[in-house]
Amino acid sequence: KQEVTQIPAALSVPEGENLVLNCSFTDSAIYNLQWFRQDPGKGLTSLLLIQSSQREQTSGRLNASLDKSSGRSTLYIAASQPGDSATYLCAVRDRDDKIIFGKGTRLHILP
């Protein structure tokens, strides 16, 4: 059974700092891993998708890496801004096409 864990559960950092969010999964037989952003009371927005054959993806100040063999992914946010405050969730698509989510990391950027 696939299990996805995100550490830390919550994080507060001063504006301008670089930060890393972590995601781990128990079964490495995945098709892809996605990172999402969720603002309070809202739906989820896809940020980055890494296929199982890829090592990283970049979009603007965001960089996501994937180490499938060790079951780990990181989301790196450069030069954080108050607008980055949100909950960040990772999800893996397994070989049965189930998409399993972690519980998320609540990020607060301090102005």
Binding site for another protein (CB under 8 A): 4, 6, 31-32, 34, 36, 42-46, 49, 51-52, 89, 91, 93, 96-104
Closest CB to another protein among residues 98, 108: 98
Burial class (CB in 10 A: 0-12, 13-18, 19+), 86: buried
Q: Which of 20, 26, 22 is nearest to 71 (CA)?
A: 26
Closest CB to another protein among residues 6, 65: 6
Element (H, E) at 14: strand 10-14
Shortest spacing between CB 57 and another protein, in angstroms: 10
Neighbours of 109 (CB within 10 A): 20
Closest CB to another protein among residues 31, 76: 31
Shortest spacing between CB 44 and another protein, in angstroms: 5
